[in-house]
Amino acid sequence: MANDRLKKIVFDWYIYIVLVAFWIVSCTVSPFFRTMSTFSIIFVSAVPIALVGLGQTFVVLSRGFDLSVGVVASLATAIASVTMHWGIGPSIGLILLVSCAIGVINGLGVSKLKIDSFIMTLGMMFFLNGVTLLIRPSPGGFIPVNFKRALLYQVGEFPLIPVLILLLAAIVGILVLQKRKLGREIYAVGGDPESAKMSGVDVDRTRIKVFVVSAVSSACAGLFVSARIGSGNAEVGAPYLFDSFTAVFMGGTLVTGGVGGYKGTIASALIIASIGHILQFLGITIWYHFIVKGLLLAGVAGLQLFFVRRERT
Amino acid sequence: MNRIGRFQLIDVQPLILVLALVVIMAIAGFLTPGFLTFRHFKMVLYCNTMLGILALAQTVVILSGGIDLSIGSTYWITVMVGALLMVKGEFLVPAIVCILVGGLIGLVNGLGISRLKIPHVVMTLAMMIILTGTLYVTTGGGGRGRAAPELIRLSTGRVSGFPIITLVWLLLTVLFYIILRMTAFGWKVRALGSNLSACYCSGIRIWRVQVLVYMMSGTLAALAGLLYLGWARTPYPTFQSGAGVGANIMLQSIAAVIIGGTLFSGGRGGVGRTFLGVLVLAVLFSILSMAGLGVEWQIMLNGIIILAIVGVHSRVGLQ
C-alpha cells in the first residue's frame, strides 16, 4: 500500500525529480553552474518558455497543435518596439487585443471550419511571419527602460518579478485546468470530442477559448522577451515553438490529448532553460543546442507513446 | 453541400486554376511588357524547378495523409553536404552520398512516424531543427565548398534551348503520375490517406508504405538540393523565416500542393495538379517581385493562400 502511494508520487512528480537530479549533476560537473547568478538567469530564460508552454499545454490537452505560438511572440516584440513610445499601457493593450484576435481566428478556423489545427496554425504562422517582417524588417526599436526594469526586477541576485511571473503562470495554469469549468471541458474535449459533445460540452467554444489562451500567453511571452532583449525582432520567437512542444511533452502531457497538465510543463521549461546553460558552460557552441533540442523533442514524444502503449496493453 | 457539389469542386479545381492562370497572366502581361513572352515563361519555370520537385515530394507525403516539415531543411543539408564533398571537383560519389543522406533522413522520419507512432508534425518538426543545428555546426553559418563542374553544366545546361533541370522536373512529374496511378504502391499511398483503419483491415503493411513515402520525399529533396547547388555554385544557407533553415521553401511546397487541389487530409489529388499549383505560385511570385514587393509579402501570401483554400475545401465538406 505504501509502496503504491510512493509509486504514484514518483509518477506524478517524476519531472521534478529529473529537474533536481539535473541541477545536482550540473552543479557537480561545472563550477560556473554553482552560482546564484546562473540560477537567476535560468529562471529568467524559463519565463518565456513557461508562458508559451502554458498556451501549448491547453491546446495539446484539447487535441490540437498550435504552430503559431513562436510567431505570435515575435509579433508581440515587433509591435512593442514600434508602439511603446506611445506609452506602455496602450502598447500592451494593443498587443493583447491583437493576440486575442489571432486566437479567435485560429479557434474559429479549427472549430467552425473544421480545419485541421495543424494546417490552420501553420498558415497563420507564415501569415504573421510576413506581417512581423513588414512591421520590423530588422531588429531594433524602442523599449522603455522602466518597462525593462519592472519586468526584470531583481532583489540582490534573486530575480523577483520573473519568479513571480512563473508562479503566477503556474497558479493560473493549474487552477484553470483542475478547478475551473473551462479546464474540465478541455480535458473532456481532448479525451473524446464526441462524448464531450454528447455530455453537453460546447466543443467549438472550448476550442476557441483554448486558442485564445494560447495566443495571449504567447504574446505575454513576447512582451517578456522584448523586455529582455530591449528591442523588437521578427525572428526571436521562432525557437520557442520547439521549446513549447518539448516542454509540454516532457511534462507528461500526452501527444494524443486529454491527459497531462501544466504542472509538468513548467518544470520542463526550467529543465530546457537549464540545458541551454549547462551546454554553454561546457563550452558547446550554440548550434549544437538545436540538435540537442530536436533530439529531445523527438525522443520525448517517442518515449512517451512507447510507455503509454506498454501501459495500455 | 450535397455529394454532387463536392465532387464537382475537387474535379474542376484544375480547370479553375488554368482559368485563373490565364487571367493573372493576361493582366500581368497587359501591365508589364515582356511578361507574356515564351522566354519569361521559360525563366519562371527554370527558377521554380527546385520548388517543383519539392512540391512533387510533398504531394506524395500529403496524399498518404502525412506532412513533411523537414523537406526544406533536407534540401539545404544536401546543398551543404554536396558543396563540402565536391570541393575537389568530384561529382559522382558526392552526388550519390547526397542522395543517400536524403534517403536516410526520410528513413528516420518514416520509422519515427510509423514505428514509434510519433505524430508526423512533431517528428518532422524535430527533424527540421536537428538538421538546422547540423547545418550550422558543420558550416558555421557561412557558405563553404563549391559545386563540381559537371554539376554546374547539368544545372545550367540546355537541350535545344530548354533547361535540362526543368526537363528533369517534368520527367519526374510524369514518372510519379504513372507510379501513383498505375502501381499498387500508388494505390496504397492514396488508400492510406483516405482511410487508415480500412488499410489496416485489408492487410496493407502500413509502416512499409509510410517509410517508403518519407524516404521518397527525402530522396527527392536531396535531388532538388543537388540541382540547386549546381545552379547556385556555392551554398548560401540563411536562417530563413519561421522556424529553421528551409522553412520558407517548405511552406511554398505545401502551398503549391494545396493550391493544386490535393486534399490536405490525404487520399485525393495528384502530382499533375501540383504542377499547376507550382505554376500559379510561380507566376504570382514573379508578379510580386516585379511590383517590387519583398520576400515578406511572399511569405504572407503563402499563408493566406493556404488558409483560404483549406477553408474553402472544408466549407464544402471536403476535409
Residues of B in contact with A283 (CB under 8 A): none
Instruction: Report, in angstroms and rounded to the nearest whole number, the Rg of chain B calculated over CA atoms.
Output: 19
Q: Is residue B256 classed as helix, strand or coil in its secondary structure? A: helix
CB nearest A115 (choices: B116, B130, B311): B311
Instruction: Please tell me what DSSP assigns to residue A180.
Output: S
The interface residues of chain A toward chain B in range 74-103, judged by CB-CB distance below 8 A, are none
The interface residues of chain A toward chain B in range 218-277, judged by CB-CB distance below 8 A, are 235, 238, 241-242, 245, 249, 255
Tell me whether residues A301 and B133 touch, CB distance under 8 A.
no
The interface residues of chain B toward chain A in range 2-31, judged by CB-CB distance below 8 A, are none
Residues of A in contact with B70 (CB under 8 A): none
- Cα gap B317→B319, rounded to integer Å: 6
Q: Are B299 and B251 in contact (CB under 8 A)?
A: yes
pLDDT at A108: 92
- Cα gap B102→B75, rounded to integer Å: 8
1.10.150, 1.10.3470, 3.40.50, 1.25.40: which CATH number matches A37-312?
Answer: 1.10.3470
- Cα gap B109→B124, rounded to integer Å: 6
Other residues' Cβ atoms within 10 Å of the Cβ of residue A156 = 8
pLDDT at A78: 93
pLDDT at B284: 86
Cell of B189: 499511398
Tell me whether residues A126 and B300 touch, CB distance under 8 A.
yes
Question: Max CA-CA distance within chain B?
Answer: 63
1.10.10, 1.25.40, 2.60.40, 1.10.3470: which CATH number matches B3-315?
Answer: 1.10.3470
pLDDT at B89: 80
Residues of A in contact with B67 (CB under 8 A): 118
Residues of A in contact with B127 (CB under 8 A): 294, 298
How many angstroms separate the CA of residue A133 from the nearest CA in chain B? 6
Q: Is residue B187 classed as helix, strand or coil in its secondary structure? A: helix
Span A184-204, pLDDT tens digits: 899 988 888 888 888 888 889
pLDDT at B237: 58
| A309 and chain B in contact, CB less than 8 A | yes
A176 Cβ neighbours under 8 A, 6+ residues apart: A182, A183
pLDDT at B241: 44
Q: Is residue B205 classed as helix, strand or coil in its secondary structure? A: coil
Element of type H or E holding A284: none
- Cα gap B314→A160, rounded to integer Å: 48
Residue that has been written with the C-alpha cell 472549430 in this structure: A111
How many angstroms separate the CA of residue A156 from the nearest CA in chain B? 36
Cell of B220: 527527392
| Residues A197-203: contacts with CB under 8 Å, at least 24 apart | A203/A111
CA distances from B239 to A192, B76, B129, B222 (A): 40, 11, 11, 19
Searching chain B, which residue's CA lies closest to the CA of residue A74?
A: B242
User: Which value does ipTM take for this structure?
Assistant: 0.82
pLDDT at B153: 85
pLDDT at A308: 66
A312 pLDDT more than 60: no
- Cα gap A313→A211, rounded to integer Å: 33
Q: Phi/psi of residue B167, each to 5°? A: -65, -40
For A66-70, what is the mean pLDDT? 91
pLDDT at B292: 83
Q: Which among B300, B302, B304, B316 is the top mutation candidate for probing chain A, defined by the most A β-carbons within 10 Å of its own β-carbon?
A: B300
- Cα gap B151→B91, rounded to integer Å: 7
A89 pLDDT more than 80: yes
At A99, the pLDDT band (50, 70, 90 cuts) reads very high
Residue that has been written with the C-alpha cell 505545401 in this structure: B254
Span A70-82, pLDDT tens digits: 999 999 999 999 8
- Cα gap A78→A138, rounded to integer Å: 10
- Cα gap B174→B170, rounded to integer Å: 6
Please, is B65 exposed, middle or buried when counting C-beta atoms within 10 Å of its C-beta (0-12, 13-18, 19+)?
buried
Span A211-226, pLDDT tens digits: 999 999 999 999 999 9
Other residues' Cβ atoms within 10 Å of the Cβ of residue B16 = 12
CB nearest B122 (choices: A295, A301, A309): A301
Span B160-176, pLDDT tens digits: 878 888 999 999 999 99
pLDDT, tens digit only, all 319 positions of chain B: 444 455 556 677 778 888 888 888 888 888 777 777 888 888 888 888 999 999 999 999 999 988 998 999 999 889 888 888 888 888 888 899 999 999 999 999 999 998 888 888 889 989 988 998 888 888 776 677 788 888 888 888 888 878 888 999 999 999 999 999 888 888 888 888 888 888 888 888 888 999 999 999 999 999 999 998 888 887 765 555 445 677 888 888 998 998 888 888 877 888 888 999 999 888 888 888 888 888 888 888 888 888 888 888 777 665 4
First-residue to last-residue Cα distance in chain B: 13
| B169 and chain A in contact, CB less than 8 A | no
Domain definitions of chain B by residue range: 3-315
Residues of B in contact with A117 (CB under 8 A): none
